[in-house]
Amino acid sequence: MKAVFCEELGTPQQLVVRDIDPPPAPGVGEIKVALKARGVAFTDILMIKGEYQAKPELPFIVGGEASGVITEIGPKVHDFSVGDSVLVSGGCVEEVVVKTTRATLLPAGTDLEAAAAFRGNYATALYGMQRANLQAGETLLVHGAAGGVGLAAVDIGKLLGARVIGTASSEDKLTAIKEMGGDHGIDYRDGFREQVKALTNGKGADVIYDPVGGDVFDESMRCIAPFGRILIVGFTSGRAALAKTNHLLIKDASVIGYTMGGLQRHDPERAAKNGAILLDWLVSGRIHPYISHRIPLDKTADALQLIIDRKVIGKAIVV
């Protein structure tokens, strides 16, 4: 079977597609899964560069979240059957064997591509809205709103009853924000402060969701509402910003940093509960993962390059 390996740290073009032996038969409490779709993200790019907080030993298979169909079950497996659809941590490989404790059963008829596209981004967005205590009727400003975590934040923000303003860098991305239900889209290449202030009658945004950092964070501090909260999601700009505490003091504002890894380590029950909430929302059609690119497994490097080139809207998946 085929698998995509990072054998040396660097760029997507250095990834290697290899034929490897299929995994063995599943053992006690394990299942074998034929993967059908795999989500890739900016974190995968950081990982193959050696710049992510988790640093797996080389060589490692690229990617993480995936969906597929169970082909074999091991002894003492009672809650899963051959033919069931599941979410697993699989990566860019054709088959995996995993413990049932690491698999999530999907209801019959669940779209496997949507399932592979939603979990990481939507879990990040939901936990962020919880940390910020986003309330119905508040204004949510989402930066990088056409990216994976950005569009998920737009989607969840609307579901929670917020008025959502999204920033992006092209007309097609602004269109996607509107399609996801965003109330306003701003091309932030020439700045966004004045437009946000105008759209909020001078008040500013109550919650700002920032996966970009750098100059975007700096400008966000100048259009945050009193008692506002800025969520630090990441630094796709390449620069982690420095918060000026005098600005926070004047606005009675808060800067909130958070990670999904931290949630899973320190409050696994809450992480599991959020996962169940999101799955219910997916199956019931209350959230709508946006997939702009479907890339074959042996072209995984192309999928990651599309993310680097900022051509992905929502999510790219490997099929």
pLDDT band for 64, please (50, 70, 90 cuts): confident
- Strand pairing of 163-168 and 184-187? parallel
User: Residue 159 to residues 39, 135, 186, 203: CA-CA distances in angstroms?
Assistant: 23, 11, 21, 23
Residues 113-141: tens digit of each pLDDT:
999 998 889 999 999 999 999 999 999 99
Note whether residue 236 is domain-resident. yes
Question: What would the two tokens of residue 304 be?
Answer: 């990651």
Tell me the angle at which helices 171-179 and 148-159 cross, rounded to the nearest 10 degrees: 30
In a domain, 307, yes or no: yes
- Average pLDDT in the chain: 94
Q: Are residues 12 and 139 in the same domain?
A: no
Confidence of residue 70 (pLDDT cuts 50, 70, 90): very high
Task: Decide: helix, strand or coil at residue 113.
Answer: helix
Structurally, the chain folds into a number of domains equal to 2
Task: Give the list of residues 6+ apart from residue 190 with CB closer than 8 angstroms, or none.
Answer: none
Same domain, 135 and 245: yes
* Tokens found for residue 266: 């320190």
| Amino acid letter, residue 154 | V
Containing structural domain, residue 202: 121-261
The enclosing H or E element of 140 equals: strand 139-142
- Confidence label for 306 from pLDDT (cuts 50, 70 and 90): very high
pLDDT at position 241 is: 86
Digit-coded pLDDT (tens) for 39-53? 998 889 999 999 887
Asked if omega into 59 is within 30° of 0 (cis), the reply is yes
Closest CA to 154 of 133, 171, 135, 176: 176
Say what the pTM is.
Answer: 0.89
203 — pLDDT class (breaks 50, 70, 90): very high
Asked if residue 254 is part of any domain, the answer here is yes
Phi, psi of 139 (to 5 degrees): -95, 125
